[in-house]
Structures are given as structure tokens and as C-alpha cells.
Structure 1
Amino acid sequence: MTELDLSMARKVLESQPFSGLVGARITAFGSGAATLEVDMSQELRQQNGFLHGGVLAYAADNSITFAAGTTLGPAVLTGGFSIQYVRPATGRTLVARAEVVHTGRRQAVVRCDLLAVGEDGAETLCAVAQGTVLSATPQ
């Protein structure tokens, strides 16, 4: 298995064209957790000025999968996830913090809090997600 660390996780994220398009960056990775951040640029907002829900879903999906990769290994795929929007995301940065709840032999269950960080640094919960990630490594 390839050694998994923050440096490797950043290389994987950089290899994803869509992640580059939204300007995502991984800021924490390891021990069953991962944190992904996206700046709330004007191009990522919807018509009312809030961060588009698709950006929140992207951040949840990717952070969930990265967190699972810390326990299942580097070859993983999202099996499915759900997201509940709590309030509109406004501010400077979206932070998606994912943590593995349970890892089995071939799958992991992961939850994720999505937080909007304001100009003052205050964090506001804007969505919660939970997903199942599958090992893509043949057994």
C-alpha cells in the first residue's frame, strides 16, 4: 500500500480537475479524519449570494472519501452519501471536516460537518453529511 500522508493527499486532490476548478485544498489528513477547504468566491455562489449547494455537496463527498482513505487505504470510492443543509453558507471559506465513525473490512461510514467561516474567523454550521465509502482494492 502507498504511504498515506498529508503530502500524498494533496497530490491526489491536485490530480482532480474539478477540485482545481473550485480551488479546493486539503488542510488535514490522517487518523480517520480529513479537512477540505474552499474559498467562497463569487463564481461559486448562487443567485441569492449564498455558496451553491453543489459546492457543499462536493466538499462533503470529497472530505468523506479522503477521511475513509486513512482507514481503508488509497483505493476508495464513494458508495453513497446524504447531506442536510442547515442554513445558507455565507462568509469567506467553507470548511468540510470529516471523521470516520466505523471502518469494516471493505467499507467505512463517515460523517462530515460543513462550516462557513466568516471574515472574523467565526465558524457557523451550514450542513451535515454522512456517507459510506467502499474499498476499491480487490480482496
Structure 2
Amino acid sequence: MHETLDLNLARKVLAAQPFSVLLGARLTAFGDGEATLELDLRDDLLNQHGRVHGGVLGYAAENAAAFAAGSAVGPGLVTAGFTVDFLRPAKGEILRSHARVIRAGRTRAVCRCDLTTIDTDGTSTLYAVAQGTIAVTETAP
């Protein structure tokens, strides 16, 4: 993990993202090439069928992947691209997006992300998987 980044600093970065604040996202784990982002699934984050909106899943995958990459290569990153495969319509109480770096290089990091929901009884169900490429835009200090 990059020396200047830790969970507290990563949480400050998340809190500086207005869209993340709007969604109520929280970073629950960060370090060693991994990050976990969670958010409570409110009615205003669902689609007309009462399932988690795909845009919310995409946000969670992309942001968790960027934080995972940041924990491995440091700050100064942007997402170069990502894909999400929706396995089934998502429902639950909490959305958890866990990303991990598959490979980190000088200019890019490739991450995989599992998107699960947690039900009121604690059951975790996998609803989507994603892969993202994060570009390094500046050399970390």
C-alpha cells in the first residue's frame, strides 16, 4: 500500500465527492490493493421494479475499483474504463462493492469487483461482477 494513503484519508476523499455523499456511500475497507464501498439501499436508489438501479451498481463498481487501485499505486487516478455484468436483479438492504487489484503497473491498474447485497438476516447474495482499468495520471509523491 502507498505510504501516504490510509482508510481515514480515503474516507476524506470519498466525503469530497458530492455524488458519493448524495448516495450515502461509505468506505468500510481500504488497503493492500483492495477496497470495500457500501451504501444503504433506499427507495430512491431503486428502479420501477423495486430492484437496485443499474446506475447505482455501476457507480459502486467504478468507485470501489478506483479506491482499490489507489491503495496499491497511490493518488492521481482516473477510471479509463469498466464493464459490469449483471447476474440477476439486485435487492437487499445494503449494497457492498468489494474491489481488488488484479495487476498494478506504472500507468494502469486492472481491478475486479464483486457487487453483493446484504439482507436483513445477514445473507449476502452476488448480483453483479465488474472489471475496471484505472489510469495513473500523476506520479505519487
TM-score by length of structure 2 reads: 0.95
Give the aligned partner of residue 88 of structure 2: 87
Measure, in 1, the Cα distance between the counterparts of 2:136 and 2:106.
8
Measure, in 1, the Cα distance between the counterparts of 2:39 and 2:137.
27
Give the aligned partner of residue 66 of structure 1: 67
Post-superposition shift, 1:27?
A: 0.2
Q: How does 1:95-106 map to 2 (within 5 A)?
A: 95-106=96-107
Give the aligned partner of residue 6 of structure 2: 5
Alpha-carbon contact 2:100-2:112 (below 8 Å) kept: yes
Which deviations, in whole Å up to 9, do the C-alpha atoms of 1:4-57 show, x marking residues without a partner? 000000000000000011100000000000000011000101100001010000
Measure, in 1, the Cα distance between the counterparts of 2:88 and 2:94.
15
Alpha-carbon contact 2:76-2:139 (below 8 Å) kept: no
Post-superposition shift, 1:88?
A: 1.1
Post-superposition shift, 1:3?
A: 1.0
State whether structure 2 residue 29 is matched by structure 1 residue 46. no
Stretches of structure 2 that go unaligned for 5 or more consecutive residues are none
Measure, in 2, the Cα distance between the counterparts of 1:103 and 1:131.
12
State whether structure 2 residue 120 is matched by structure 1 residue 119. yes
SS at match of 2:122: coil
Give the aligned partner of residue 58 of structure 2: 57
TM-score by length of structure 1 reads: 0.97
- CA-based RMSD: 1.3
**Given residue 122 of structure 1, which amino acid in structure 2 is its aligned partner?**
T
Query: Which 4+ stretches in 1 moved above 6 angstroms?
Result: none
Which deviations, in whole Å up to 9, do the C-alpha atoms of 1:100-120 show, x marking residues without a partner? 000111110000000011111
Percent of aligned pairs with the same amino acid: 52
Post-superposition shift, 1:71?
A: 1.4
